[in-house]
Amino acid sequence: MLILLPPSETKRPGGDGAPWSAAAGAFGVLAPVRDQVVDALVALSADEELAARVLKLSPRQRGDIAANAALRTAATMPAADRYTGVLYDALAADTLGERERAWLGSHVGIHSAPFGPVGALETIPAYRLAAGTSLPGIASLRRMWADAVTAALAASEASLILDLRSEAYVALGPVPASIPHAYVRVVTEGEDGTARALNHFNKHAKGALVRRLAETGPAIGSLDELLAWADAHGVILRETGPGTLELVV
Protein backbone atom coordinates (compact mmCIF):
# COMPACT_ATOMS: atom_id res chain seq x y z
CA MET A 1 0.00 0.00 0.00
CA LEU A 2 1.06 3.54 -0.82
CA ILE A 3 -0.45 6.43 1.17
CA LEU A 4 -0.43 9.86 -0.45
CA LEU A 5 -0.45 12.90 1.83
CA PRO A 6 -0.75 16.58 0.97
CA PRO A 7 2.04 18.97 2.00
CA SER A 8 1.64 21.83 4.43
CA GLU A 9 2.12 25.55 3.88
CA THR A 10 4.17 25.74 7.10
CA LYS A 11 7.58 24.12 7.34
CA ARG A 12 10.51 23.76 9.72
CA PRO A 13 13.56 25.74 8.64
CA GLY A 14 17.08 24.40 8.38
CA GLY A 15 18.21 20.81 8.20
CA ASP A 16 21.48 18.91 8.01
CA GLY A 17 20.97 16.79 4.90
CA ALA A 18 22.76 17.08 1.56
CA PRO A 19 21.29 19.41 -1.07
CA TRP A 20 18.19 18.22 -2.89
CA SER A 21 18.56 16.03 -5.97
CA ALA A 22 15.86 15.94 -8.65
CA ALA A 23 16.56 12.30 -9.54
CA ALA A 24 16.58 10.97 -5.97
CA GLY A 25 14.07 8.63 -4.40
CA ALA A 26 11.23 6.41 -5.46
CA PHE A 27 9.85 8.99 -7.90
CA GLY A 28 13.15 9.98 -9.51
CA VAL A 29 11.50 9.47 -12.90
CA LEU A 30 9.92 12.90 -12.29
CA ALA A 31 13.34 14.60 -12.45
CA PRO A 32 12.73 16.41 -15.79
CA VAL A 33 9.53 18.05 -14.52
CA ARG A 34 11.08 18.74 -11.11
CA ASP A 35 13.96 20.55 -12.75
CA GLN A 36 11.65 22.75 -14.82
CA VAL A 37 9.47 23.73 -11.86
CA VAL A 38 12.40 24.32 -9.49
CA ASP A 39 14.28 26.34 -12.12
CA ALA A 40 11.19 28.53 -12.61
CA LEU A 41 10.81 29.03 -8.87
CA VAL A 42 14.49 29.90 -8.40
CA ALA A 43 14.35 32.33 -11.33
CA LEU A 44 11.26 34.01 -9.89
CA SER A 45 13.12 34.58 -6.63
CA ALA A 46 15.55 36.94 -8.38
CA ASP A 47 12.80 39.58 -8.43
CA GLU A 48 11.59 40.00 -4.85
CA GLU A 49 8.63 42.23 -5.70
CA LEU A 50 7.38 39.93 -8.46
CA ALA A 51 7.94 36.84 -6.30
CA ALA A 52 5.94 38.38 -3.45
CA ARG A 53 3.02 39.06 -5.82
CA VAL A 54 3.09 35.67 -7.54
CA LEU A 55 3.40 33.74 -4.28
CA LYS A 56 0.94 36.04 -2.48
CA LEU A 57 3.32 36.74 0.39
CA SER A 58 2.78 39.16 3.22
CA PRO A 59 5.72 41.36 4.31
CA ARG A 60 6.42 38.89 7.15
CA GLN A 61 6.61 35.98 4.70
CA ARG A 62 9.18 37.48 2.35
CA GLY A 63 11.92 35.38 3.90
CA ASP A 64 10.44 32.48 1.95
CA ILE A 65 11.75 34.08 -1.24
CA ALA A 66 15.32 33.53 -0.05
CA ALA A 67 14.46 29.90 0.72
CA ASN A 68 13.19 29.44 -2.84
CA ALA A 69 16.32 31.06 -4.25
CA ALA A 70 18.45 28.48 -2.40
CA LEU A 71 16.44 25.38 -3.36
CA ARG A 72 19.35 23.66 -5.08
CA THR A 73 21.97 24.42 -2.42
CA ALA A 74 20.11 24.53 0.91
CA ALA A 75 20.35 21.88 3.61
CA THR A 76 17.54 19.33 3.65
CA MET A 77 15.59 17.19 6.10
CA PRO A 78 13.11 14.29 5.71
CA ALA A 79 9.84 15.51 4.21
CA ALA A 80 7.78 14.10 7.09
CA ASP A 81 9.84 16.22 9.48
CA ARG A 82 9.97 19.31 7.27
CA TYR A 83 6.22 19.91 7.21
CA THR A 84 4.36 21.28 10.21
CA GLY A 85 0.72 22.23 10.77
CA VAL A 86 -2.33 20.29 11.87
CA LEU A 87 -1.82 17.09 9.88
CA TYR A 88 1.89 16.81 10.58
CA ASP A 89 1.52 17.73 14.24
CA ALA A 90 -0.89 14.78 14.55
CA LEU A 91 1.50 12.49 12.67
CA ALA A 92 4.47 13.72 14.77
CA ALA A 93 6.88 11.68 12.69
CA ASP A 94 9.90 12.87 14.68
CA THR A 95 8.54 11.13 17.79
CA LEU A 96 8.17 7.73 16.13
CA GLY A 97 10.67 4.95 16.70
CA GLU A 98 13.04 3.57 14.11
CA ARG A 99 10.70 0.75 13.08
CA GLU A 100 7.72 3.07 12.74
CA ARG A 101 9.70 5.60 10.71
CA ALA A 102 10.90 2.83 8.43
CA TRP A 103 7.26 1.94 7.80
CA LEU A 104 6.56 5.57 6.88
CA GLY A 105 9.48 5.56 4.50
CA SER A 106 8.21 2.44 2.74
CA HIS A 107 4.52 3.31 2.56
CA VAL A 108 3.97 7.09 2.58
CA GLY A 109 4.46 9.70 -0.11
CA ILE A 110 3.98 13.46 0.31
CA HIS A 111 2.87 15.38 -2.76
CA SER A 112 4.61 18.76 -3.01
CA ALA A 113 4.12 21.48 -5.61
CA PRO A 114 7.80 21.93 -6.62
CA PHE A 115 8.99 18.31 -6.34
CA GLY A 116 5.87 16.23 -7.01
CA PRO A 117 5.44 13.23 -4.71
CA VAL A 118 8.41 12.34 -2.53
CA GLY A 119 8.87 9.57 0.01
CA ALA A 120 8.13 10.52 3.61
CA LEU A 121 11.79 10.11 4.58
CA GLU A 122 13.28 11.58 1.42
CA THR A 123 15.03 14.85 2.15
CA ILE A 124 13.81 18.20 0.82
CA PRO A 125 14.71 21.85 1.42
CA ALA A 126 12.34 24.46 2.79
CA TYR A 127 10.32 26.21 0.08
CA ARG A 128 7.21 28.25 -0.63
CA LEU A 129 4.91 27.17 -3.48
CA ALA A 130 1.23 26.23 -3.45
CA ALA A 131 -0.61 23.95 -5.86
CA GLY A 132 -2.58 26.80 -7.40
CA THR A 133 0.34 29.15 -8.06
CA SER A 134 1.14 30.08 -11.68
CA LEU A 135 4.90 30.43 -12.16
CA PRO A 136 6.21 32.71 -14.91
CA GLY A 137 7.87 30.94 -17.82
CA ILE A 138 6.22 27.52 -17.52
CA ALA A 139 2.77 26.01 -17.96
CA SER A 140 0.37 25.74 -15.04
CA LEU A 141 1.44 23.31 -12.33
CA ARG A 142 -1.52 21.11 -13.23
CA ARG A 143 -0.29 20.82 -16.83
CA MET A 144 3.29 20.33 -15.68
CA TRP A 145 2.55 17.61 -13.16
CA ALA A 146 -0.70 15.74 -13.81
CA ASP A 147 0.26 13.29 -16.54
CA ALA A 148 3.81 12.81 -15.25
CA VAL A 149 2.69 12.05 -11.69
CA THR A 150 -0.06 9.69 -12.86
CA ALA A 151 2.51 7.78 -14.93
CA ALA A 152 4.95 7.67 -11.99
CA LEU A 153 2.24 6.30 -9.71
CA ALA A 154 1.38 3.65 -12.30
CA ALA A 155 5.04 2.65 -12.48
CA SER A 156 5.20 2.32 -8.68
CA GLU A 157 3.22 -0.93 -8.93
CA ALA A 158 1.52 -0.22 -5.60
CA SER A 159 -1.11 -2.82 -4.77
CA LEU A 160 -3.36 -0.14 -3.24
CA ILE A 161 -3.15 3.66 -3.09
CA LEU A 162 -4.82 5.38 -0.14
CA ASP A 163 -5.30 8.98 -1.23
CA LEU A 164 -5.38 11.47 1.66
CA ARG A 165 -4.48 14.49 -0.48
CA SER A 166 -6.56 17.62 -0.82
CA GLU A 167 -8.40 18.08 -4.10
CA ALA A 168 -5.84 20.66 -5.26
CA TYR A 169 -3.07 18.07 -5.08
CA VAL A 170 -5.19 15.28 -6.55
CA ALA A 171 -5.46 17.54 -9.60
CA LEU A 172 -1.64 17.64 -9.80
CA GLY A 173 -1.52 13.85 -10.19
CA PRO A 174 -4.68 11.74 -10.38
CA VAL A 175 -4.25 8.14 -9.29
CA PRO A 176 -4.24 5.90 -12.38
CA ALA A 177 -7.31 3.75 -12.90
CA SER A 178 -5.02 0.73 -13.30
CA ILE A 179 -4.21 0.72 -9.55
CA PRO A 180 -6.82 -0.07 -6.86
CA HIS A 181 -7.26 3.11 -4.85
CA ALA A 182 -9.50 4.92 -2.41
CA TYR A 183 -9.92 8.64 -1.76
CA VAL A 184 -10.57 9.35 1.93
CA ARG A 185 -13.08 11.91 3.21
CA VAL A 186 -13.18 12.70 6.93
CA VAL A 187 -16.67 13.01 8.42
CA THR A 188 -18.46 13.09 11.74
CA GLU A 189 -21.95 11.79 12.40
CA GLY A 190 -24.76 13.83 13.88
CA GLU A 191 -27.31 12.44 16.29
CA ASP A 192 -29.53 11.57 13.33
CA GLY A 193 -26.73 9.53 11.73
CA THR A 194 -26.08 12.09 9.00
CA ALA A 195 -22.41 12.32 7.99
CA ARG A 196 -20.94 15.84 7.91
CA ALA A 197 -17.58 16.70 6.36
CA LEU A 198 -14.94 18.30 8.59
CA ASN A 199 -12.38 21.00 7.84
CA HIS A 200 -9.82 21.58 10.61
CA PHE A 201 -10.28 18.09 12.07
CA ASN A 202 -10.01 16.62 8.60
CA LYS A 203 -6.26 17.26 8.65
CA HIS A 204 -5.82 16.09 12.24
CA ALA A 205 -7.70 12.85 11.55
CA LYS A 206 -5.57 12.07 8.51
CA GLY A 207 -2.34 12.62 10.45
CA ALA A 208 -3.60 10.48 13.32
CA LEU A 209 -4.62 7.71 10.91
CA VAL A 210 -1.18 7.56 9.33
CA ARG A 211 0.49 7.59 12.74
CA ARG A 212 -1.69 4.68 13.88
CA LEU A 213 -0.77 2.75 10.76
CA ALA A 214 2.93 3.41 11.34
CA GLU A 215 2.68 2.34 14.97
CA THR A 216 1.07 -0.97 14.06
CA GLY A 217 3.12 -1.53 10.88
CA PRO A 218 0.63 -3.59 8.90
CA ALA A 219 1.32 -5.28 5.57
CA ILE A 220 -1.74 -4.20 3.62
CA GLY A 221 -2.19 -5.17 -0.01
CA SER A 222 -5.87 -4.62 -0.67
CA LEU A 223 -8.84 -2.53 0.35
CA ASP A 224 -10.35 -5.50 2.20
CA GLU A 225 -7.16 -5.85 4.24
CA LEU A 226 -7.21 -2.13 5.04
CA LEU A 227 -10.82 -2.31 6.23
CA ALA A 228 -9.98 -5.39 8.31
CA TRP A 229 -7.05 -3.53 9.90
CA ALA A 230 -9.31 -0.58 10.70
CA ASP A 231 -11.92 -2.82 12.30
CA ALA A 232 -9.27 -4.53 14.42
CA HIS A 233 -7.86 -1.22 15.68
CA GLY A 234 -11.03 0.70 16.39
CA VAL A 235 -10.73 2.94 13.34
CA ILE A 236 -14.03 3.61 11.56
CA LEU A 237 -13.38 3.39 7.83
CA ARG A 238 -16.27 2.61 5.53
CA GLU A 239 -16.63 2.27 1.81
CA THR A 240 -19.17 4.74 0.43
CA GLY A 241 -18.76 4.11 -3.27
CA PRO A 242 -16.23 2.98 -5.87
CA GLY A 243 -12.88 4.42 -4.88
CA THR A 244 -14.21 6.36 -1.90
CA LEU A 245 -13.85 5.83 1.85
CA GLU A 246 -15.17 7.76 4.82
CA LEU A 247 -13.05 8.09 7.94
CA VAL A 248 -15.51 8.72 10.79
CA VAL A 249 -14.22 10.69 13.77
**pLDDT tens sequence across 1-31:** 999 999 999 999 999 999 999 999 999 999 9
Q: How confident is the model at residue 157 (pLDDT cuts 50, 70, 90)?
A: confident
What is the average pLDDT score of the chain? 95
Q: Residue 54: exposed, middle, or buried by beta-carbon count in 10 A (0-12, 13-18, 19+)?
A: middle
Q: Tell me, what's the pLDDT at 194?
A: 66
Q: How confident is the model at residue 206 (pLDDT cuts 50, 70, 90)?
A: very high
Q: Tens digits of per-residue pLDDT, 107-146?
A: 999 999 999 999 999 999 999 999 999 999 999 999 999 9
Q: Which domain holds residue 74?
A: 2-248
Rounded average pLDDT over 188-201: 69
Q: Tell me, what's the pLDDT at 200?
A: 66
User: Which residue from 78, 72, 107 is spatially nearest to 12, judged by alpha carbons?
Assistant: 78
User: Which residue from 114, 93, 98, 105 is spatially nearest to 7, judged by alpha carbons?
Assistant: 114
Counting the structural domains of the chain, the total is 1
Say if CB 46 and CB 68 are below 8 A apart.
no
167: pLDDT strictly greater than 70: yes
- By three-state DSSP, how is residue 29 classified? helix
Side-chain-side CA neighbours of 15 within 13 Å: the count stands at 27
Say if CB 41 and CB 22 are below 8 A apart.
no
Percent of residues, the chain, with pLDDT higher than 90: 93
Rounded average pLDDT over 80-84: 98
pTM of the full structure: 0.94
